[in-house]
Amino acid sequence: MSWTKRQLINQAFSEIGLASYDFDMQPEEYEDAMRQMDSMLADWEAKGIDLGYPVPTTPSGGDLDEDTTINLYANRAVYTNLALLIAPSHGKLVSSETKASAKSGYNTLLLKATLPTAMQFPANLPKGAGTKYWRDSQDPFFPTPEETVT
């Protein structure tokens, strides 16, 4: 089970020193943080980092207690980067550990989102002496490579 939006926002507030058990957070602060998180994850999705987060279509769309469907490995990247976004509006400075954790988490997401392209042999490369015509086709050369860029 993944975290809710409220849990990620509470963790981000905790990263900047505004833990919900010490400070009474106003509903407007949660709404603002949720809009920041929605826009951050929409930006990541546009960059090819698709976490399955339900990005709302309107600024007021979304529920704080909605399940985010984000895998557990991505939670740290989300709440630490959200902490970097919301800290200036609350007059807080982010610690160097939080900055390093945010960068490390984001790099992990980039690694998970990036897949290597399959290697293709050139069309003028022969298949070799061990290739039997009844196994593959009558063509003694590899097929023409497919274009991977769309």
- Please tell me the predicted confidence (pLDDT) of residue 39: 93
Measured between alpha carbons, how far is residue 111 from residues 73, 116, 135 in Å? 12, 10, 38
Closest CA to 31 of 59, 3, 56, 7: 59
Q: Residue 6's CB: how many other CB atoms inside 10 A?
A: 18
CATH number of 5-113: 1.10.3230.20
Measured between alpha carbons, how far is residue 140 from residues 59, 135, 146 in Å? 59, 11, 18
Closest CA to 109 of 60, 30, 63, 45: 45
- Please tell me the predicted confidence (pLDDT) of residue 144: 77
Residues of the chain with pLDDT under 70: 1, 20-23, 115-117, 130-137, 147-150
